[in-house]
Amino acid sequence: MKSRTVITIVLCAGMAAVGFLWGLTSTSYEPTASPPGACSLVRPELMDRIAPGHGGAAVVGTVATAEAVRATACQWQSEQVWAWVAVGTRGRAEGRGPGCGGVLLTRPINRLNTEVPLGEKASYYLVASAGKRTVRLEACLGIHTVSVGLDYPEAADEKVLVANAIALGQEVLSRL
């Protein structure tokens, strides 16, 4: 009699686990709230150092995509520097979790993608073209993805450009 009870309990627990996993992987969730405004996550004194004379932040707006992502973006522009930051909040698309594992971080074609220790996962790449140097950095932490873009004159020091992008990404991640 006892063996039947144990077998029944094991079968029920197994069926419950399978049902839970099936429900977990087939459920979609779209975030209803937008992430915090990107402009509010960057201290003015940091932007004064990165883009001197920028004249203040300009809100680019809020975007909702079909991939269960909501994002806000902000940009700053001075005579020689253009900077932008976007903060996205990911929901859960069917069969995929909101973690960094499913996020396509900066994937340049024919460019060196360098990982940096920010958040759960982060990387950047550099491009030099048309008299300017550009760095693009992406980092994720939980359900948030932070994208940073900086355009500097071509003569700008590469180390300074990368350090500024990392500082901007770190600033935003620390305030989420």
The model's pLDDT over 140-153, given as tens digits with 9 standing for 90+, comes to: 888 788 999 999 99
Residue 57 confidence (pLDDT)? 77
CB of 104 closer than 8 Å to CB of 127: no
CB of 126 closer than 8 Å to CB of 137: no
Residue 16 confidence (pLDDT)? 41
Range name among 15-19, 42-46, 64-68, 139-143 with the lowest pLDDT average: 15-19
**Has residue 100 got a pLDDT over 50?**
yes
> Structural domain boundaries of the chain?
28-174
Residue 150 confidence (pLDDT)? 93
Distance CA(134)–CA(117), nearest Å, equals 20
Residue 166 confidence (pLDDT)? 95
CB of 121 closer than 8 Å to CB of 105: yes
Q: Which amino acid type is present at position 122?
A: A
Classified by CATH at the fold level, domain 28-174 comes out as Protein Transport Mog1p; Chain A (3.40.1000)
Distance CA(57)–CA(83), nearest Å, equals 10
pTM of the model: 0.74
